[in-house]
Amino acid sequence: MATPLTRLQTLIQTQCRIFNTIYNPSRLRTGNKILRQRLKGPSLAAYYPRRIATIKDLAKAYPEYEVIDEDEDDRLENVQITKSRGKGPPKKKRTKEVAVGKKKKR
């Protein structure tokens, strides 16, 4: 013999109170499953090591001292060499509006 519907609903309500869950008789999607999960932010932040001070940070912190970043100097020197050979980055493309604006108007 089947149990009455009202009796089952009271049983489910009591079960929800005991186990501290949400009573949802209409079975709507509430997103509770996602809200109960642990937050991922702290574990993701702890995954990456802490950032240490760089030479650029030291130069900003102590402007009275002359701090030389050899890697940056090498990079700038390489950029100058490639530009002089014509191998540097291409110039920005002019938009149609700028090109039309420079032409003579009749």
Q: For 64-82, how does the pLDDT look when each residue is reduced to its tens digit (9 = 90+)?
A: 999 899 999 999 999 999 9
Residue 61 lies in a domain: yes
pLDDT, one tens digit per residue, over 6-55 is 999 999 999 999 999 999 999 899 998 899 899 999 898 889 888 888 88
Domains: count for the chain: 1
Q: How far is CA 29 from CA 18, 19, 59, in A?
A: 22, 19, 55
| Helical residues (DSSP H) of the chain, grouped into ranges | 5-18, 32-36, 41-47, 55-61, 70-84, 96-102
In a domain, 78, yes or no: yes
- Structural contact between residues 69 and 55, judged by C-beta atoms closer than 8 angstroms: yes
Question: Alpha-carbon distance 92 to 98, whole Å?
Answer: 12
**Amino acid, single-letter form, for residue 66:** E
The answer as to whether 94 is a domain residue is no
Residue 76 lies in a domain: yes
Residue range(s) defining the domain that contains residue 46:
37-86
Q: Does the residue 74 lie in any domain?
A: yes
Residue 103 domain-assigned (yes or no) = no
